[in-house]
Chains A and B, each alone.
Chain A
Amino acid sequence: MSDAIPLARPEPTAAVLRCEGLRVGYGGTPLLPPIDVEVRAGEFWAVVGRNGSGKSTWFRTLLGLQPPVGGRIVWPSGDPRISYVPQRTGFDDLYPILARHVVAMGIDRGWSFLRPSLLRESPEVGRALGAVGAGDLADRTFRSLSEGQKQRVLLARLVVSGARLVLLDEPTAAMDVVAEAESLRMLDELRRRYGMATIVVSHYLGVARDFADRVILLDRDEQEVVVGTPREVFEHAAFRSRYGEPEDLLFHG
């Protein structure tokens, strides 16, 4: 499905993130070779690799949830304005929290929660829900939504966060095929509209093939880090040794 590859790529602009010889791991032991990448505004990155390949470790290091083992992460603008969509299993269904309140959380950063706004609701929340076609979900509880609807609400949260870089961990897990395709199209549209650099971890290789500008393959067992366009990575020996040459990944034309 070559025509699914977006034709109109955003012009590469300012770098929002650089990993310089970044080593990720635990307890001072690196899991992977040094990682050198530069992520630019509006770019869509897909992170591929099998279970235990180091994807989550790299992700958590970028997010600041664990320290690097070596090298460094550089935020060229000086302000790592990141937002994150965790796996849906990370949310506890005990909370009867409304969708619009989940979106509103995206506005707070640092100590801004101390600014009183208990009774006032930002108009940005309604606008963001509208932008992802979820205006009618505003007053539903988050837990009562389908996986696809939850994803829309979390995308609206990304929009209000004003993030320069967004990271999504398996955003389409537990979705049916239709909801998955719809979610990814929406994510692609949002990053174009708002110029957000987007990094997505996914088991679904179609994300890399159909949407990504750049792909990073992580392989802890073979100690490989491969970075390139989707075609470059899919044709790389390290990728083929792991995934073979599945017919549906071939690029035509």
Chain B
Amino acid sequence: MGEPAPSWAEFASAFELFRDPIVCGVLAGVVLGYLGVFVVLRRMVFVTAAISQSAGLGVALAFYAQIHLGQETAHPVAGALALSVLATLLFAAQPERLRVSRESLLGLAYVAAGAAAVIVGDRITQESHDISAILFGTAVLVRPEDLRAVLGVGLFVTAVHLWWHRGFLFAAFDPDGARVHGLPVRLLDTVLWLLVALEVSVTTRALGALPVFAFAVLPAMAALMASGGLRGAFPLAALLGGIAGGAGYVLAYFLSTPVGATQVVVAASLVLLALPVRAVRGRA
């Protein structure tokens, strides 16, 4: 016999404990859901995975600098941001000059950063056995400074996106046409991916790599399938991302399942729910 399922009364009475991670999950879901529309349309879904790994390496390097090099000021979030930006600049460069696809550069960033993080992590985990808990956050408990970072970066990323939206979209849909009209296409591309890197690095630090990857892909997939047009897809993806983040946490509490994985399952269920809507819409 397992323990009896927790009740809503218990959930409400202990809500203070859950508030921060739920808010964090919803915020991350909303912003990543919105950004995910670009990620999916640009066929760059593994960008999130590559940035997460790079952010993990940045955190590991920051801890290494603190422990072994006496650099007390090396902050893990700063390390995560720095390495995410470096990885982004790598694949935002023109891979065609190297005669390789952008996808291969993503693969390089993912696997090299992952391996390096394990090697560096090995030098800083005298006490802990779980390197991933150090490099990435967990969606169960969120540190107050991580919540502040997720909120601040989320607001900043959203504001820039709403402001530059037309430019990002023109440069993505018709890059040559945009260049001919004098739009700074390379800069737009680089800023787009830097904003994704910024959001992914802070949310990965707070919630962990798995739900962040899911939020940046699945709500956008569902929204693109269910929505009749692109303008509707952005708010819908943000809404679905928020639902996955919030409902995933609550569901995990009641089902006693791991939080991050439950958030992913909720996001994946939203894609399944979008299937019949897509079928009704036909070829539009």
Contact = CB atoms under 8 A, between A and B. Distances in A.
Interface of A: 63-65, 82-86, 90-92, 94-98, 101-102, 105-106, 108-111, 113-114, 116-118, 139-141, 144, 161, 167
A118 B162 contact: yes
**B contact residues, range:** 20 to 34
A86 B181 contact: no
B19 interface: no
Q: Is chain B's interface secondary structure helix, strand, loop, or mixed overall?
A: helix
Interface string B179-193: 111111000000000
Interface stretch (B116-124, B170-178, B250-258): B170-178
A105 B173 contact: yes
A97 B162 CA distance: 17
Contacts of A64: 179-180
Contacts of B284: 96, 140-141, 144
Given A84-B177, A92-B41, A109 B182 contact: yes
B170 A116 contact: no
Q: Top 8 A-B pairs ranked by shortest CB distance? A: A113-B167, A113-B166, A84-B180, A110-B182, A97-B230, A109-B181, A98-B229, A105-B170
Given A64-B179, A108-B166, 20 more contacts: A63-B176, A64-B180, A83-B177, A83-B180, A83-B181, A92-B41, A95-B172, A95-B230, A96-B227, A101-B230, A101-B231, A105-B174, A105-B177, A108-B181, A109-B181, A109-B182, A110-B182, A111-B183, A113-B164, A118-B166
Contacts of B231: 98, 101
Contact of B184 (A85, A111, A116): A111
Given A114-B164, A116-B163, A86 B184 contact: no
Interface in B194-230: 224, 227-230
A117 B169 CA distance: 14
A131 to B, nearest CB: 19
Nearest to A97: B230
Contacts of B166: 105, 108, 113, 117-118
Contact of A96 (B164, B165, B179, B230): B230
Nearest to A157: B177
A161 B174 CA distance: 15
Nearest to A104: B166
